Structure 1
């Protein structure tokens, strides 16, 4: 009952829109034979901040009442042709929603969601022009050393060369580093690079690209950055960089093909069962 009274405190009702206060009904208001239930009201108030709740509650109830009043008067005052046109649009919209929902349910229950690597590779090869880069992308190795590190020269030499034995050595002593990334298969863009390393300006970016290496020292650390792989702006993206896009495109292609197949099948069945006749 307290909850009911809390809701009703906010109600500003119109003439003909009555407060329903019986405990069993769980309604907030009624207009004619139409009720605004407590459940509907709570859903309409979802996400409203506490400080805005009074104004929002008044608005929700008043708007509900206005809609019901206008609907009733429209049905009484609009001409028959207009009402028929609206009714036809409502039926078409309902039919469209139902058919789309059912078709989507059929597709989702039937479609194969497994990733086919051969299909992905074939799609990539046929559509490479779609995957031309508009930014440089990199795979990097990175080490952050404390300024008092005992053998900076050795670490610098090994990350610059970064052969298998160098990588193994660096990985074995990585616990001594302040931070490091030595096994990074992720591609990052130029924008992401500069966000991760704010000290890289236009000049140092060119230096990094020219020498595949850059170092920077501030008051806290020495930063060593090594380019493992680089693909430049305007070149075709590596397949693993665009794999999520390829997977999405492949799935979307399957959905379209399956949708056409389902539509053809239901049409054929309707014709065979003589539920559909075309004159």
Structure 2
């Protein structure tokens, strides 16, 4: 620990524990006429952490503060008065923040976030060209079992079966023996999400998905079982369930945009009717 680091830590700890901190606040660093006080450093240090962690945070914050002040000083020296005049930018940014906060507050209070299935279906039909797949998707079952596989013949029979009793038995088997048991039968996923879980590389993904129903492979430690239920290849229209959440977000966003447009127009018309502004 350097003397400088120790000094920072002692100053921060002492004055964070001192009930008269505002009276005893001491400088930690100085750049030109800018001073960093212990109270400011103390504000960024979480309560209850170790002295070593406090030192690390205090050190990092102090060095970053010094670098920032030096950079500001350098910029002040090298920029023209016109370039340094950021008051308009600050005011524009402040105005944008206030407007955004007000809009978001009203949106949270007024906007109905419920999007009906009818709206989703209608948008899907109307803009179907926007929902063409750019990657293959599938529904599948994925199982990973350590080698040696217990009762290999049994799991080979169970994972291929569509019988409800066999499914229950397969779940029991996987609970006891499988390292991974992922059931993607009830939702679409990108094919690569599944294929990346398998050892080796599938050469022609499209042909593999077209021809494969059940698939097994192994590496040095595990045996893998895959049952592909459904496939939709890229360049086909995405199934509605796959894009339903995206459509819901699109419709909500459109609703918000329209709400903001109406809000601005209503505020304008109200102010106009009460002669609150003049345009010369």
Note the residue ranges of structure 2 that are not aligned, 5 or more in a row. 1-6, 15-19, 47-52
1:46-57 matched pairs, under 5 angstroms: 50-51=55-56, 53-54=58-59, 56-57=61-62
* Partner residue, 2:237: 236
TM-score, normalization: structure 1? Answer: 0.70
Q: Whole-Å Cα distance in 1 between the matches of residues 21 and 140 of structure 2?
A: 67
Q: Whole-Å Cα distance in 2 between the matches of residues 201 and 240 of structure 1?
A: 27
1:24 aligns to what SS in structure 2? helix
1:214-253 matched pairs, under 5 angstroms: 214-217=215-218, 222-253=223-254
Q: Whole-Å Cα distance in 1 between the matches of residues 63 and 201 of structure 2?
A: 55
TM-score, normalization: structure 2? Answer: 0.69
1:1-279 matched pairs, under 5 angstroms: 5-7=10-12, 23-25=21-23, 27-29=25-27, 36=36, 38-42=38-42, 50-51=55-56, 53-54=58-59, 56-61=61-66, 63-64=68-69, 67=72, 78=81, 82=82, 86-143=86-143, 147-149=149-151, 151-152=153-154, 156=156, 159-160=159-160, 162-163=161-162, 166-177=163-174, 178-179=177-178, 180-181=181-182, 184-199=185-200, 201-202=202-203, 206-207=207-208, 209-217=210-218, 222-279=223-280
C-alpha distance 245-137 of structure 1, shift in aligned 2 (>3 A): same
1:209 aligns to what SS in structure 2? helix
Q: Whole-Å Cα distance in 1 between the matches of residues 61 and 93 of structure 2?
A: 30
Q: Whole-Å Cα distance in 2 between the matches of residues 273 and 255 of structure 1?
A: 27
Computing the radius of gyration over CA atoms, which structure comes out larger, 1 or 2? Answer: 1
* Partner residue, 1:15: none
C-alpha distance 88-214 of structure 1, shift in aligned 2 (>3 A): closer
Q: Whole-Å Cα distance in 2 between the matches of residues 219 and 96 of structure 1?
A: 59
1:73-127, CA deviations, whole angstroms, 9 ceiling, x for partnerless residues? 99xx94xxx4996434433332233223222222222222223222122222222
Q: Whole-Å Cα distance in 2 between the matches of residues 148 and 31 of structure 1?
A: 70
RMSD (CA atoms): 4.2
